[in-house]
Amino acid sequence: MCWNIAGIHGANLKIPVVFEKDITTIIFMVKWCVVYSSATGNTRRLAEAAAQTLGADLMNVNDILGFLPGSPDADSDLSDMEDSYENLAVIEANRKSLLISAEANLSEVAAKLSKYDCVMVGYWLRRGGPDQRTAVLLSKMSGKRVALFQTHGAYEGSEHAVTAFARAGSLLGSDNTILGTFSCQCAVNPALIKRRLEGKVPGHKGEDLEACKKRWADAEKHPDENDLERMRTFAKKMLVISEKA
């Protein structure tokens, strides 16, 4: 059984339904890598847990896109610009710069991923979707079995979190297969909280400031050891599915 998700670019992505299996009997028959983008370290911690479980190579998205840390392209979507009305023009200009740079490095991206059958991609949310660099990477991937995981300040299962997966899936071409998704509420960047309190950043739809403060307080506790263990369990399930896909 599969779900068919129609992306905004017309892509139809097949997502297999997960069936239980004794995951201790899985043999590592496929080659995995875990690629992550992390603004505050939350996504990186989950990526490290996943890579260890999968026996996978671990790479920062900058390594795949060919951006050096500290370069204008690598830093063009810094989280302190997230969702800020006054920086929308800058964000759009930097997005175009990233796309141009990634297009120039397209063959390099393909070469770096060519030896992997499956790619787990981890990202943080920016304006309700994958962060800018991850969005570029997803749009350049081809012929891969993909697992997605995301970190965010919103509650897991919220509309904000669920629709973000749809946006991520829509960036992938139709020749990619999504194996599964994992979501984790994590501590919010303090710089973003500061701007929200100053009224420079909009809150989530229908959420007043007091509710927002409670959500931030809840998120501050994560990722914790339980979250890391959930990620390890998710990674084991992805191993099972990847053997069938």
In tens, the pLDDT along 81-139 reads: 333 333 444 445 555 555 555 555 666 777 889 999 999 999 999 888 999 899 989 99
What is the mean predicted confidence (pLDDT) over 156-185?
A: 93
- What pTM value is reported for the model? 0.74
Q: Cβ atoms within 10 A of the Cβ of 209, count? A: 11
How far is it, in rounded angstroms, from Cα 209 to Cα 197? 8
30-59: pLDDT as tens digits: 899 999 999 889 999 999 999 999 999 999
Question: What are the distances in angstroms from CA 28 to CA 37, 48, 57, 71, 131?
Answer: 25, 18, 13, 37, 30
Mean of pLDDT over the chain: 77
Domain ranges of the chain: 2-244
* Best CA proximity match to 43, nearest among 223, 193, 215: 223
Q: Are 71 and 54 in contact (CB under 8 A)?
A: no
Q: What is the CATH number of domain 2-244?
A: 3.40.50.360
Residue 70 pLDDT > 60: no
Contacts with 206 (C-beta within 8 Å, 6 or more apart), sequence order: none
Looking at residue 54, its pLDDT comes to 96
Among 22-36, 130-144, 180-194, 221-235, the range with the most confident prediction by mean pLDDT is 221-235
- DSSP sequence for 80-124: GGTT-GGGHHHHHHHHHHHHHHHHHTHHHHHHHHTT-SEEEEEEE
Number of Cβ within a 10 Å radius of residue 36: 24
